[in-house]
Structure 1
Amino acid sequence: MMSSPFAMPPTTVSSAVVKEEDWAPTLSAVGSVSAVQGAVVAAELGGVVAEIHFQNGGEAKKGDVLVKLATPSEDADLELARNDLERTRDLARRRVISKAELDAAESKFKQKEGLVGKKEVRAPFDGQLGIRQVNIGQSIDARQPIVQLTALDPLYVDFALPQQDLAKLSNDLEVRLLSDAIPGREFKGKLTAINSMIDSVTRNVSLQATFENSDHALRPGMFAKVEVVLPEKHKTLVIPGSAVSYAPFGDSVYVIEKKKDEKTGKEGQAIRQQFVRIGEARGDFISITEGLKAGETIVSTGVFKLRNGMSVTINNELAPKPQLNPKPVDS
């Protein structure tokens, strides 16, 4: 004779209620993070590095002097041009020379001044600097790389979707991003560019999304998982992902049901293993496409220790609270 499920002390479990929620459908892809602005900073002219005004990995503002090249001959030429200009102006005031000669002296001075200015290498835009590739005293050629400068906020994410999804896409759709480099954190951006052509080999359309990145968590070159959120929504049954017991022969959950002990007549609770078909996951939640009904109560954690028909008691005091957009705990 089979013993009652209440013969053994009940196992304490945490529970969750199957909820029906509005989930917008998504289109998934993989992408790569890229900079909105990025450049290898170089000097326009060659020379000897006299001063370096930045730290590796530091921040730079547009116009900041990064490197100064030694300019002994240029400084001497500039001083001669300045003295010549002062003499020419004095002669012009006394009307000894023509205005054309004064203009020529002023032009020569500005030319020499500009040449000295080109020996100062400045940041072309705000951004974060990489690792310098020159040292003080080093002789460098024109256009020789000095340091990488990258604007990190905002950033682009480049990805592609099949051509059959093109009709569903439009600018300003929400785009979600996850990266293994930043586990547990979801970034939200907007679709900002749809390529005008379809790739004739892959039949994919290239897309670009823009993401705010004020804390510089994302970096150009990162691999990312991308989801484009479509505007229409549909009803979806949702449960915590921790409630699912995954197995080769089928995924299942444990439904908590009221059950009366046949011997004592006391009311209690027992679990019934229910096989389900799972859908997409979002944060700590997962959608269920088959096997459950809204309002049913299920075991939410510790399903690996359970067996069909076991008696249980519910205690949700220490149960973790699943989140749709989980964030890592600050260290």
Structure 2
Amino acid sequence: MLRKIFMTAIAVSLLIGALVYAKLGQFSAMGRAAEAMAVPPETVTAVTVDEALWERSIAAVGTLEPVQGVMVSAEVGGRVTRIDFASGAAVKAGDVLLRLDTSSEEAQLASAEAAATLAKADLTRVRAMDARKLSSQDALDAAEAKAKETQAQVVNMRALIAKKTVRAPFGGRLGLRLVNLGQVLQEGDRIVSLQTLDPIYVDFSIPQQRLGDLRHDMTVRVRADAAPDETFSGAIIAVSPEVDAVTRSVRVRAQIANPGERLRAGMFARVEVVLQDRQPVLPVPATAVLYAPYGDSVFVIEERKNDTTGATEPVLRQQFVRLGRARGDFVDVTDGLKAGETVVTSGVFKLRTGMTVVIDNRLAPAAGLEPNPSDS
């Protein structure tokens, strides 16, 4: 019995040993195959880094203001008898906007003109008598004073009638009509807003430390949500002599061309003041940068000799960099990269140092300094 159990144990041991030996052989073969297997190169897009000159600018936010803007109001009271404008219409300087009832003033004007005519005739007779020494100096002075007084009354009534005809003080775009036909207006009642919109002003603030960079007639570019695909150009016309004591910023005004009046007063605007000098930079596409909490990096493609085959092949090297300002689809590398080096421009999150690559730029993402992507 013991002999039978002993023989069974030996057989089981031999079987287990055979299985272990076979598996170890398989693992060894797999290891040798893995060592001999070559990892295929990764296909990437790349670009050679070149130096460039970027214009320097100051970014700010501003508010659009009309070159001229006023709320047209009634200078004198009266009943509205005629409205000669439509809401939102364009008008020229001197165009009639509204007329008030002048029947009472016209009657008074006729009376004043009659009195002035009589006074003038009296003055003519007194002067003729004075020439023949038949009148006193007092009578002549009284006649001249009466003629001037009546003429002044005529001028006053004509001025009052003219004030009841409301005209556009300057050319521009009207707002919404605030009066109705037959309405009785009081002095100062609002009629309609009037604004000059082409050109238009943009007011913005910049930090006091950038005040020394500003010059009169500097180019200014403006973007607004009302025209997202268009950039409006203008120039600085005034810089405030005062610095705000709270924000430590200075107010600046620029005049912007506004063809078609696409910009309106009160709009929010993004402003860019273009400085006169240019800054040397080393730009790379923003897609080439691997952003990480411990530091930003790019993958540089270098030519290295393969120790096994002896051939030269492109190999990746992760290079940590320091970034400057961004512009469009590019970002400036201030440290860690040199001109003439080639960097990967897409898919950097799946790369690592020492990986061999193949460059194929047929599907390279388009990059521009002033991108204007379509609305998808």
Deviations 1:262-313 (A, max 9, x none): 999999878776654433233444333234433445565x648965558555
- Matched with 2:368 is 322
- Matched with 2:74 is 43
User: Is residue 112 from structure 1 mapped to residue 112 from structure 2 by the alignment?
Assistant: no
Deviation at 1:235, TM superposition (A): 0.7
User: Is residue 133 from structure 1 mapped to residue 164 from structure 2 by the alignment?
Assistant: no
One of 51, 71, 86 as aligned partner of 1:55: 86
Deviation at 1:41, TM superposition (A): 0.8
User: Is residue 25 from structure 1 mapped to residue 70 from structure 2 by the alignment?
Assistant: no
Q: Quick one: distance in 1 between partners of 2:84 and 2:305?
A: 79
Asked if 1 retains the 8 angstrom alpha-carbon contact of 2:41 and 2:356, the reply is no
Structure (1 or 2) with the greater helix fraction: 2
Q: 1:291 to 1:220 in 2, by over 3 A?
A: farther
Deviation at 1:119, TM superposition (A): 0.9
Q: Quick one: distance in 1 between partners of 2:64 and 2:326?
A: 23
Q: Quick one: distance in 2 between partners of 1:228 and 1:314?
A: 39
Asked if 2 retains the 8 angstrom alpha-carbon contact of 1:183 and 1:328, the reply is no
User: Is residue 213 from structure 1 mapped to residue 258 from structure 2 by the alignment?
Assistant: yes
Q: Aligned-residue CA RMSD in angstroms? A: 3.9
Q: 1:286 to 1:211 in 2, by over 3 A?
A: farther
- Matched with 1:166 is 211
Q: Quick one: distance in 2 between partners of 1:243 and 1:151?
A: 47
In terms of mean alpha carbon deviation, does 97-106 or 251-260 score higher? 251-260
Q: 1:164 to 1:70 in 2, by over 3 A?
A: same
Q: 1:237 to 1:181 in 2, by over 3 A?
A: farther
Asked if 2 retains the 8 angstrom alpha-carbon contact of 1:5 and 1:270, the reply is no
Asked if 1 retains the 8 angstrom alpha-carbon contact of 2:171 and 2:196, the reply is yes
One of 224, 229, 239 as aligned partner of 2:269: 224
In terms of mean alpha carbon deviation, does 262-271 or 34-43 score higher? 262-271
Q: Quick one: distance in 2 between partners of 1:156 and 1:105?
A: 48
Q: Quick one: distance in 2 between partners of 1:255 and 1:185?
A: 37
Asked if 2 retains the 8 angstrom alpha-carbon contact of 1:185 and 1:328, the reply is no
Q: Quick one: distance in 1 between partners of 2:342 and 2:183?
A: 72
Asked if 1 retains the 8 angstrom alpha-carbon contact of 2:116 and 2:147, the reply is no
Structure with max Cα Rg: 2
- TM-score under structure 1 length normalisation: 0.77
- Name the aligned partner's letter for residue 181 of structure 2: I
Superposed, 1:123-272 pairs within 5 Å as: 123-241=168-286
Deviation at 1:222, TM superposition (A): 2.2
Q: State the secondary structure of the residue aligned to 1:155.
A: strand
In terms of mean alpha carbon deviation, does 182-191 or 60-69 score higher? 182-191
- Name the aligned partner's letter for residue 66 of structure 2: A
Q: Quick one: distance in 2 between partners of 1:65 and 1:259?
A: 83
Q: For CA contacts below 8 A with separation 6 or more, give which structure has more relative contact order.
A: 1
Q: Quick one: distance in 1 between partners of 2:175 and 2:306?
A: 70
Q: Quick one: distance in 2 between partners of 1:208 and 1:125?
A: 21
Deviation at 1:128, TM superposition (A): 1.5
Unaligned runs of 5+ in 1: none
Asked if 1 retains the 8 angstrom alpha-carbon contact of 2:63 and 2:269, the reply is yes
Q: 1:193 to 1:94 in 2, by over 3 A?
A: closer
In terms of mean alpha carbon deviation, does 147-156 or 112-121 score higher? 147-156
Asked if 2 retains the 8 angstrom alpha-carbon contact of 1:270 and 1:312, the reply is no
Deviation at 1:249, TM superposition (A): 6.1
Q: State the secondary structure of the residue aligned to 1:113.
A: helix
- Name the aligned partner's letter for residue 190 of structure 1: A
Q: Quick one: distance in 2 between partners of 1:21 and 1:33?
A: 34
**How many residues matched?**
324
Q: Quick one: distance in 2 between partners of 1:245 and 1:184?
A: 30
Deviation at 1:37, TM superposition (A): 1.5
Asked if 2 retains the 8 angstrom alpha-carbon contact of 1:41 and 1:148, the reply is yes
User: Is residue 286 from structure 1 mapped to residue 331 from structure 2 by the alignment?
Assistant: yes
Deviation at 1:154, TM superposition (A): 2.5
Q: Quick one: distance in 2 between partners of 1:290 and 1:144?
A: 65
- TM-score under structure 2 length normalisation: 0.69
Asked if 2 retains the 8 angstrom alpha-carbon contact of 1:184 and 1:328, the reply is no
- Name the aligned partner's letter for residue 203 of structure 2: D
Deviation at 1:238, TM superposition (A): 2.4
Q: Quick one: distance in 2 between partners of 1:292 and 1:304?
A: 16
Deviations 1:24-66 (A, max 9, x none): 3333333222222211111101122222222222212111111
Deviation at 1:225, TM superposition (A): 2.9
In terms of mean alpha carbon deviation, does 252-261 or 63-72 score higher? 252-261
Identity in percent: 41
